[in-house]
Amino acid sequence: GNYDSVEDLWFDVATYISNNYDEGVLETIFIAGDGAPWIRGGTEYIPNAVYLLDRFHLCKYILRAVGRYPEVKKGIWKAIKRDDIVQVDTILQEALIRAQSETHKKAITDCFRYIKENWDGIQAYREYPAATGFSAEGHVSHVLSARLSSRPQGWSREGAEKMASLRVLKANGYSIQEEYIMQKTDNTPLIKACANAIHQQR
């Protein structure tokens, strides 16, 4: 959107990380996305970055392909969990044989192609258990847009950034109420108190 090049975007991200986190203790930075080259490219600019396929998109492809067959869908997820792409292929090939329409056949073919092209981003979940459950699209939809766009209100840039931070903190399991009480007792600004709480949990 506002960047002239992908390099400019990732340079901005790298600068943000450097300014807001202690890079000395950052072991791994996860970059999740739908498999687009510009997202994958982030691993070339961000030190210790690992690409993850956003499961929101993976789920969409699987549902389009075999959503009408619960047992088949379950079999695919089990194969993915076992890191067995051969079994994924076998299951989808069997589904392809049973498919009645060209639209359904295309959905199945597209699903396997998508899984194959993003297999490294799927395998990363197995290699990095801490990334389990990550879903950028889902988080934006349920965590941020619930307050900032689905039921929109007027926000200044500073206010929107603070509200987004608070929504993310809440989604990560931190008690905003407890941090508010801390603010009242020691006069620490709420956002700073939350940041301190996160730091103590690391």
DSSP string of 105-154? HHHHHHHHHHHHHTHHHHHHHHH-GGGTT--HHHHIIIIIHHHHTSS---
Q: How far apart are CA 170 and CA 168, in angstroms?
A: 5
Domain that holds residue 186: 136-201
Q: Are 66 and 95 in contact (CB under 8 A)?
A: yes
**Which of 36, 54, 72 is the endpoint of a domain?**
54
Domain boundary pick from 125, 148, 165: 125
Q: Are residues 140 and 175 in the same domain?
A: yes
Strands (E), the chain: 29-33, 49-53
Q: How many domains does the chain contain in total?
A: 3
pLDDT: which is higher, 163 or 60 = 60
User: What pLDDT, in 10s, does the model give residues 9-27?
Assistant: 999 999 999 998 888 888 8
Residue 130 within a domain: no
Residues 91 and 103 in one domain: yes
98 vs 148: which has the higher pLDDT: 98
Judge whether 1 lies within some domain.
no
Please check whether residue 131 lies inside any domain of the structure. Answer: no
Residues 117 and 60 placed together within one structural domain of the fold: yes
Average pLDDT, the chain: 79
Q: What is the pLDDT of residues 47-89, one digit of tens each?
A: 999 999 998 889 999 999 998 899 999 999 999 999 999 999 9
For position 144, what pLDDT does the model report?
53
**Residue 42 and residue 83 in one domain:** no
Residues 61 and 47 grouped into a single domain: no
Q: What is the pTM of this model?
A: 0.66
Assess whether pLDDT exceeds 60 at residue 147: no
Same domain, 191 and 141: yes
